[in-house]
């Protein structure tokens, strides 16, 4: 058995370029796993600079000098960044505080609405079933409330860290954009010269990953905006907070939309009970998800990701479990990278055997 294992390893890793490719990939994953928390501002700045590089490249194709293109792209980023800090975060914090303050009244109203269901629909639900649902909701809402308190305390404790990040990330984005060639040249000194296979994989993945990330950001913004406009029109409470999470839920295909159905339905039910407004809200949410799945995704991400749904779900579970929000955001690009490595590896083997 040891001999067969040795033969298998020899067959799979006989090419030095394959060994270099897997070593670079494994080294990158280990770096993020071991130092990811400490280097989080660096990784965030790197991701944002990578996205802005697309704008810089397009401006350069219009014969605009790189220095000016970098300045314009960074100015656009700073406008969006300041709008987020000054405009959006205070609104979200107000809605979170309002939700915590009004939660007892919402729960009471929800209980009253639920207790009316056995009278209205005795053939569908019984009073015992409603009591079980109420107990379950009380337990879950209490747990969520405790989590919110812990999160608030942790946020206060880490306020200085957050402020440092708010300064560091824009600076890192600027340096990554301005000194891109110098940074790449410096890193290449530490890489082996025989890295043609790794370069081939990177060229194959680069366009696909960049298009996916940009398309996904546009999808988040569009779904968020449309949801906010719809819920504001329907006068649903906490419209901005709910619509933000609906927008972020598109990061998790097949799961996010289903999970977000629960808070939307509960908030509408607690606010209006079984009424026309409740029905309109649920139908509107369903239409938004249908438009997202059948129009936005094919339009923005058509042909970008060629992965089986099972592979996508596994990638979301693995990378989301490892790196939280950024793991969810980058799960599909990372899965695409792994897929490209394996495909290039096998094609290299086929060429050798042929």
14 vs 133: CA distance, rounded Å: 60
- Indicate the Cα dihedral angle 305, 307, 308, 310, nearest 10°: -100
Q: What is the structure's pLDDT at 280? A: 92
Is 307 within a domain? yes
Q: What length is written for the chain? A: 354
Look at 1-15, 26-40, 76-90, 332-346 and tell me which has the smallest mean pLDDT: 1-15
CA distances from 203 to 19, 56, 280 (A): 18, 18, 47
Closest among 333, 45, 40 to 177, alpha carbons compared: 45
What is the gyration radius of the CA atoms in the chain, in angstroms? 25
Q: What is the structure's pLDDT at 12? A: 54
- Does 54 or 155 have the greater pLDDT score? 54
Q: How confident is the model at residue 232 (pLDDT cuts 50, 70, 90)?
A: very high
Is 140 within a domain? no
Is 156 within a domain? no
109 vs 112: CA distance, rounded Å: 5
Q: What share of the chain in percent tops pLDDT 70?
A: 75
Is 216 within a domain? yes
Is 342 within a domain? yes
Q: What is the structure's pLDDT at 262? A: 85
Check if the beta carbon of residue 106 is closer than 8 Å to that of residue 137. Answer: no
Looking at the structure of the chain, the number of domains it has is 1
293 secondary structure, DSSP code: I
Is 346 within a domain? yes
What number of H helices and E strands is found in the chain?
14, 0
131 vs 118: CA distance, rounded Å: 11
Q: How confident is the model at residue 153 (pLDDT cuts 50, 70, 90)?
A: very low
Q: Which tokens sit at 327?
A: 């793991």
Q: Which tokens sit at 205?
A: 């993945």
Domain encompassing residue 350: 200-354
Task: Report the phi/psi class of residue 63: left, alpha or beta, with left for phi > 0 and alpha for psi in -120 to 50.
Answer: left
323 vs 32: CA distance, rounded Å: 9
Q: What is the structure's pLDDT at 5? A: 57
What DSSP letter does each residue of 58-126 carry, written as one string?
A: HHHHTT--HHHHHHHHHHHHHHHHHHIIIIIHHHHHHHHHHHHHHHHHHHHHHHHHHHHHHHH-TTT--
Is 170 within a domain? no
Strand, helix or coil at 208? Answer: helix
Check if the beta carbon of residue 49 is closer than 8 Å to that of residue 177. Answer: yes
Q: Average pLDDT for residues 218-247, to the nearest whole number? A: 90
CB atoms within 10 A of CB 340: 19
Render pLDDT for 308-324 as a digit per residue (tens, 0 to 9).
677 777 887 887 777 77
- Indicate the Cα dihedral angle 207, 21, 331, 314, nearest 10°: 130
Closest among 284, 190, 199 to 234, alpha carbons compared: 284
- Does 47 or 2 have the greater pLDDT score? 47
Q: How confident is the model at residue 286 (pLDDT cuts 50, 70, 90)?
A: very high
Is 265 within a domain? yes
The answer to whether the pTM exceeds 0.75 is no
């Amino acid at each position: 058995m040891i001999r067969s294992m040795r033969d298998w390893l020899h067959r799979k890793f006989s090419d030095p370029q394959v060994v270099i490719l897997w070593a670079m990939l494994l080294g990158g994953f280990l770096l993020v796993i071991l130092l990811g928390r400490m280097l989080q501002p660096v990784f965030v700045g790197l991701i944002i600079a990578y996205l802005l590089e697309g704008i810089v490249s397009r401006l350069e194709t219009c014969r605009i000098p790189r220095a000016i293109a970098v300045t314009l792209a960074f100015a656009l980023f700073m406008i969006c960044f300041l709008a987020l800090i000054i405009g959006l975060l205070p609104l979200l914090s107000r809605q979170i505080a309002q939700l915590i303050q009004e939660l007892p009244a919402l729960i009471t109203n929800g209980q009253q609405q639920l207790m009316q269901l056995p009278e209205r629909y005795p053939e569908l639900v019984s009073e015992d079933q409603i009591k079980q649902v109420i107990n379950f909701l009380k337990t879950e809402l209490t747990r969520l409330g405790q989590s919110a308190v812990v999160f608030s305390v942790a946020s206060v404790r880490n306020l200085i860290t957050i402020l440092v990040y708010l300064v560091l990330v824009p600076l890192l984005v600027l340096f990554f954009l301005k000194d891109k060639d110098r940074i790449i040249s410096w890193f290449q000194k530490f890489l082996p010269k025989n890295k043609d296979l790794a370069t081939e994989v990177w060229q194959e993945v680069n366009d696909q990953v960049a298009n996916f990330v940009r398309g996904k950001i546009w999808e988040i913004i569009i779904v968020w905006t449309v949801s906010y406009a719809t819920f504001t029109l329907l006068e649903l409470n906490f419209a901005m907070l709910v619509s933000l999470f609906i927008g972020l839920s598109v990061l998790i295909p097949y799961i996010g939309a289903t999970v977000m159905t629960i808070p939307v339905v509960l908030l509408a039910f607690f606010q209006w009970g079984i009424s026309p407004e409740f029905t309109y809200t649920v139908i509107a949410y369903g239409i938004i998800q249908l438009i997202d799945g059948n129009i936005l995704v094919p339009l923005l991400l058509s042909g970008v990701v060629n992965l089986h749904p099972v592979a996508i779900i596994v990638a979301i579970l693995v990378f989301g479990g490892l790196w939280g929000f950024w793991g969810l955001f980058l799960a599909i690009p990372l899965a695409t990278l792994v897929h490209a490595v394996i495909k290039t590896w096998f094609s290299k083997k086929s060429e050798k055997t042929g």
